[in-house]
Amino acid sequence: MFPVLVFLWLAALWQPQGLLADESPSPAALPAAVAPSPAPTIKPVQWQGITLGENIESVRSRLGTPDFNRKVILGSMLVEYPIHGGEGSLVLETTEKQVTSIRVEAAAPKELSLPIGDPFGVNLGDSVTRLLTLRGEPTRMYDDGPEDQSTIYGGPADNRWIYSVHNSVVVAITLIAPKPPQPPGPPRNPGLTLTGTPPPHHGVTIHGTPAPVAVKPANASTANATAAKATATPVAATSPTPVPGIALTPNPSPGPARPTPVFATVAPVAQPTPTPAPTSAVAMAPKPAASGSAQPQPADGSSIETAIVVRAPDMATGFDYMYKFVENISCGDGSSQYRITGQDITSEHRHNYAKVTAECPTTHDRRLFYFDVTYIFTKSPDR
C-alpha cells in the first residue's frame, strides 16, 4: 500500500513539458509599449551637393572646414559654408550627426551674380507671384511678422520645402526632413527638468504703494495729535520720486517779496511802466527732463531692458542669427572679435531671454549679450 501512495504523490507533482511551454507568453503577446520601435529613417534627397540623412563628417571631408560651426539646444548642430564666392550661405542642421536640414540664403538675393535656387526653378530673389506660379498652392502659409512670411510645401511626414519671404521676395529656401516619431511608452528621461526657464508669474505686485497700516495710539494726547493730522488738508509737496496714483499740475510759487527803497530827500520821479516779471514765460517754457528720469535706451543687448528682439522661422535659425551677431562684434582694442563661451535661457516679465556670454580672445574681456527669444521660443517649422 505504501508504494502505491508514493507513486500517486509523485504523479501529482510531475507536469508535462508541453504544458509548461504553453504557459510561457509568446512574443506576440508582449505589450506594445515594450516592443522595439523601428529606427527612424530619412528619405534621401540631394540638393546643393548635400543629401538628407548624410553623415556630417563626410560633408566636412568634401567641403572642408566650415565658416560657422555651432552646437545649439536639443543636440542640434549648425554648420555653415559660403557659396557663390560668399554671395550666399549654405546652412546645414544636423541631429545625431545626420543632416536633417539644408538651407540657402543671401543677404542681397536680388544682386546675385549667379542664381541660387531649388530643383523646381525657384531662385533667391524671386517674387511671391513667381513662387506660387512654379510651385502651386502651398501646404501651409503663416506670417512671421509685418513683412515676413513662410510658405511650406509638404506634409509633416514628408520632406518639406520652406520658402522664407521678406517684402514679397524669396530670401531663403530650406529643405527639411521630417522629425522621427516619438517611441511608445514612458519618456526616456522622466526626471528631465529644464532649468533656467521658470514659469511666468501671474501675480502682479505694485511696489511703492504700501497698504495703509492702522496704528493704535499709546495715550490720549497721541490720539488727538493723530486725529488732527488725519483731518488736516493734505498739502502737495514736490518730491523727486513720483507717487503712484497722484498727479499734480506744476504751479510755480512766487518768490519772496522784494523791499522797495524809499528816498525821503529826493523828489519823486516819474517811473516808467514796470515790465511784468517773466513768470509767465518761465511757466510756458518746457521744463527740462530731470537727470534721473527714465529715457528710452537703444536695443544694444547690454541688458534685459535693452535686449535685441530675434525673429526667425525657427529656434535653430534664430540662434544662428544671434551667434553671427555676437561673433561679428570687434573687441575693445579692435584686434579681434568676440567668441561665445556660454549661453543660458531666462524668463522675466513674461518674456524669454537668451543670455549669451562672449569673451575676447586677446584681452580676455568678457561681455554679456541679451536677446529676446520669446517669438522663436519652442518654435519649429513643424507647426
pLDDT at 312: 80
Q: Is residue 21 in some structural domain?
A: no
Query: What average pLDDT does the segment 284-288 reach?
Result: 44
pLDDT at 279: 41
pLDDT at 151: 93
The whole-model pTM stands at 0.46
What's the number of domains the chain is made of?
Answer: 2
* Last residue of one domain, picked from the residues 176, 193, 228: 176
Q: Is residue 272 in some structural domain?
A: no
Q: How do residues 297-315 score in pLDDT, each as one tens digit? A: 677 888 888 899 888 877 7
Q: Is the confidence at residue 190, as pLDDT, over 50?
A: no
Q: Is residue 7 in some structural domain?
A: no
Higher pLDDT, 174 or 212: 174
* Cα 313 to Cα 72: distance, rounded to the nearest angstrom: 15
The whole domain housing 77 covers 46-176
DSSP conformation letters of 72-129: -GGGEEEEEEEETTTTEEEEEEEETTEEEEEEEEESSGGG-SS--B-TTS-BTT-BHH
Asked if residues 338 and 324 have their Cβ atoms less than 8 Å apart, the reply is no
What is the distance in angstroms between the CA of the first residue and the CA of the last residue of the chain?
82
Mean per-residue pLDDT over the chain, rounded: 71
pLDDT band at 282 (very low <50, low <70, confident <90, very high): very low
Q: Is residue 300 in some structural domain?
A: no
pLDDT at 278: 46
Q: Is residue 264 in some structural domain?
A: no
* Cα 273 to Cα 250: distance, rounded to the nearest angstrom: 30
* Last residue of one domain, picked from the residues 130, 160, 176: 176
Q: Is residue 241 in some structural domain?
A: no
Q: Is the confidence at residue 296, as pLDDT, over 80?
A: no
Q: How would you write 303-314 as a 3-class SS string?
A: CCCCCEECCCCC
Q: Is residue 320 in some structural domain?
A: yes
Q: Is residue 81 in some structural domain?
A: yes
* Last residue of one domain, picked from the residues 176, 204, 237: 176
* Strand-by-strand arrangement of the 366-372 sheet: 308-309, 366-372, 351-359, 339-348
The CATH number assigned to the domain holding 101 equals 3.40.33.10
* Cα 194 to Cα 267: distance, rounded to the nearest angstrom: 93
pLDDT at 319: 84
